[in-house]
């Protein structure tokens, strides 16, 4: 292989791919930290820094090669985007959905309850009169299902979605089987001990 092919094609491509990977990992790692997934975040941090060191070593050895700089910057931009896409697909953690409607509140609550979601309803006063505020804590991966129920029941409903870092209720982790329930309780006890 000629030197120019390595210097201007293979090396920049390697830098681009490595930088894209390490930034993607970094984006997911930061999100895991906010979700308090400590061990997984630490492992990803190790891989991220290792890749970064490999890339920066190659950049320092080839300071006169402008293609390496372009590959580094391009890998950073692509990695940021890719990391956000990956995290969105993983849909880790829980979210709080807040639905505000002037009517059809009871119907929304009934449909959400039938689908297996717990809700809390509040009476409130909006700018145009009385409204119902419906709160539900759910897994992030369930958001499209809940939004589908909401769209079918009250298409014009106003809603907001926030990430929930912690919950004091171990029942949220319960699965349908008896095995899943006991596992959820073990996790809950472990988390309680850690917090104390």
Is 23 in contact with 79 (CB distance < 8 Å)? yes
Residue 189 lies in a domain: no
The answer to whether residue 180 is domain-embedded is: no
Do residue 68 and residue 109 come from a single domain? no
CA distance 60 to 55: 9
> Per the domain annotation, does 193 fall within a domain?
no
Last residue of a domain, one of 53, 70, 91: 91
Q: What is the DSSP letter of 176?
A: S
Residues 112 and 74 in one domain: no
**Domain match, 37 and 73 both:** yes
Asked if residue 156 is part of any domain, the answer here is yes
**Paired residues of 131 in beta bridges:** 124
Q: List the structure tokens of 54.
A: 């490999």
In whole angstroms, what is the distance from residue 94 CA to residue 79 CA?
25
174 domain-assigned: no
Report the pLDDT value the prediction gives residue 13, as an integer from 0 to 100. 93
Would 8 be classed as within a structural domain?
yes
pLDDT at 78: 95
Query: Are 114 and 160 in a shared domain?
Result: yes
With vertex at residue 125, the alpha carbon angle to CA 121 and CA 131, rounded to the nearest 5 degrees, is 50
**Per-10-residue mean pLDDT, the chain, length 196:** 80 93 91 83 93 90 90 94 85 86 92 92 90 91 92 92 76 48 46 44
Q: Which pLDDT does position 195 carry in this prediction?
A: 43
Q: Are 138 and 114 in contact (CB under 8 A)?
A: no
Note the pLDDT of residue 74: 95
**What CATH number should be reported for the domain holding residue 99?**
3.30.70.120
| Number of domains forming the structure of the chain | 2
Q: Are residues 13 and 73 both part of a single domain?
A: yes
pLDDT number for residue 150: 93
User: In this predicted structure, what is the pLDDT of residue 170?
Assistant: 58
Same domain, 51 and 127: no
**What pLDDT score was predicted for residue 8?**
82
Our measurement of the distance from residue 147's CA atom to the centroid of its chain's CA atoms, rounded to an integer in Å, reads 17
Q: What is the pLDDT of residue 100?
A: 94
CA 81 – CA 20 distance, rounded (Å): 9
Position 7 scores a pLDDT of 79
Which structural domain range is residue 43 located in? 3-91
Residues 46 and 100 in one domain: no
- Residues 10, 58, single domain; the answer is yes
pLDDT at 2: 77
The answer to whether position 139 is within a domain reads yes
**What crossing angle do the helices spanning 105-114 and 143-153 adopt, rounded to 10°?**
140
Q: Clarify whether residues 127 and 111 are in a common domain.
A: yes
């Amino acid at each position: 292989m000629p030197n120019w092919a390595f210097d201007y094609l293979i090396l920049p491509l390697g830098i681009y791919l490595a930088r894209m990977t390490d930034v993607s990992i970094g984006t997911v790692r930061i999100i895991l930290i906010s979700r308090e997934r400590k061990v997984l975040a630490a492992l990803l941090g190790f891989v991220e820094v290792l890749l970064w060191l490999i890339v920066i070593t190659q950049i320092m050895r080839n300071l006169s090669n402008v293609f390496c700089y372009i590959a580094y910057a391009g890998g950073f931009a692509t990695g940021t985007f890719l990391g956000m896409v990956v995290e969105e697909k993983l849909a880790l953690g829980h979210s709080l959905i807040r639905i505000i409607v002037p009517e059809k509140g009871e119907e929304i609550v009934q449909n959400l309850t039938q689908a297996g979601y717990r809700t809390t309803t509040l009476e409130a006063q909006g700018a145009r009169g009385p409204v119902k505020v419906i709160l539900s804590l759910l897994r992030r991966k369930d958001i499209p299902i809940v939004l589908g129920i909401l769209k079918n029941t009250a298409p014009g409903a106003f809603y907001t979605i926030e990430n929930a870092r912690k919950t004091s209720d171990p029942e949220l982790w319960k699965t349908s089987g008896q095995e899943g329930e006991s596992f959820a309780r073990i996790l809950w006890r472990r988390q309680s001990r850690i917090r104390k």
